[in-house]
Amino acid sequence: MSKPKQLPPGAVIGILGGGQLGRMLSVAASRLGYRCHVYEPGAAPAGDVAHRLTTAPYEDEAALRAFAASVDVVTYEFENVPAEALDLIESIVPIRPNRRALAVSQDRLAEKDFLSGLGLSVAPYAAVDSAEDLAAAMAGRARGILKTRRFGYDGKGQVRVAAGDDPAAAWAQVGAPSVLEGFVDFSAEISVIAARGQDGAVAVYDPGLNVHRDGILRTTTVPCGLPSRLIPEAVLLASRIVTALDYVGVMGVELFVTPQGLVVNEIAPRVHNSGHWTQAGCAVDQFEQHIRAVAGLPLGDGQRHADVVMENLIGDDIQRLPQLLAQPDTQIHLYGKAESRPGRKMGHVNRIRR
């Protein structure tokens, strides 16, 4: 493998998406001497801290060309960028992580086929394109979760289905090409944040224990408190995924802990909510690690130096800010969003555990 060409200080990194992940990527890039140009069709909290912001739809070819021509490399903070926009950008400037990683993660069926093709365990699944497909897929199952193949996140785009339910009614709630996933009997959910550089080097952070509520991540705790034998298994599993994809950047890998071993829930080809704890627990957090990778720099040391609990501030949780500011060993990250709504991530806190 050839030696990566490192971006010099002052180079410009383009970021597709202007949410909180893009905001924190921009801050990390600035610490390494880079500037960021954010492309976002809507509201862009990242624009407050980036060097430059383009506000335009992904269908605006002129805006996309101007954006691509102004940067040295492009990355993204969310995976649902239209393929046509990516085609245009990639004709002008490199995109990292690569398009294969996006194609796999944008489609739940493609993702499960890819993971099972690596010999990794996933939930039982079946493609569903109609109410009739759903009825056939549910045959012999007590329950399952019907998920859209594309664009679902934080519990959106999915519906629980039980034996005896009307397939037509369940299908009508989703109404798009989907996957039926069988339920997995798991005792915990963990996630692993893995990074791979352009030179093929891999660095993996300690697994974190995740707790969800209403389909949204509430807390991630490290260490995860699981049997020590599972830690190297989770790390090696994540390494296999990023290597198989020839991946460059940071990836989040969500895993179920079951009596039969680890089952992959899903992958996210970007920095990940469950990796925010690295900001307080590691010398090089996931955001700097991602910038290092896409810029061709050596990966940093992902070793954990502190025990941390990350808590998302969702909706009215932001009203607890005065109390949080008074707490010791608490690191606060607010996302610059003007309006709080139920289910909306307004920020997060990292608490160091003594």
**Is 154 annotated to bind ligand?**
yes
Residue 147 labelled as part of a binding site: yes
Is 153 marked as binding a ligand? yes
34 is in an annotated binding site: no
Residue 351's Cβ-count burial label (10 Å; 0-12, 13-18, 19+) is buried
Whether 265 has a binding-site annotation, put simply, is yes
100 is in an annotated binding site: no
Burial 308-329 (b: 16+ CB within 10 A, else e): bbbbbbbeebbeeeeebeeeee
The answer on whether 249 is annotated among ligand-binding residues is no
In the three-class reduction of DSSP (H, G, I as helix; E, B as strand; rest coil), residue 74 is classed as strand
Question: Looking at beta carbons, which pairs linking 63-66 to residues 24 or more positions away fall under 8 Å?
Answer: 63/39, 64/39, 64/88, 64/89, 65/92
Rounded CA gap, 270 and 286, in Å?
Answer: 10
Q: Is 156 annotated as a binding residue?
A: yes
- Ranges of H-type helices in 46-128: 61-69, 83-90, 99-106, 108-117
The phi, psi pair for 73, rounded to 5°, reads: -160, 155
Q: Is 132 annotated as a binding residue?
A: no
Q: 155: annotated binding-site residue?
A: yes
Q: Is 181 annotated as a binding residue?
A: yes
Q: How many CB atoms lie within 10 A of CB 232?
A: 10
290 annotated as ligand-binding = no
Look up residue 328 and give its two tokens. 């010791």
**Amino acid at the residue 157:** G
Sign of CA dihedral 334, 335, 341, 345: negative
Q: Is 158 annotated as a binding residue?
A: yes
Q: Is residue 184 part of an annotated ligand binding site?
A: yes
Order of all β-strands in the sheet with 35-40? 52-55, 35-40, 12-16, 73-76
20 is in an annotated binding site: no
Which residue numbers belong to the known binding site for ATP?
108, 147, 152-158, 181-184, 189, 212, 265-266
Binding residues are 108, 147, 152-158, 181-184, 189, 212, 265-266
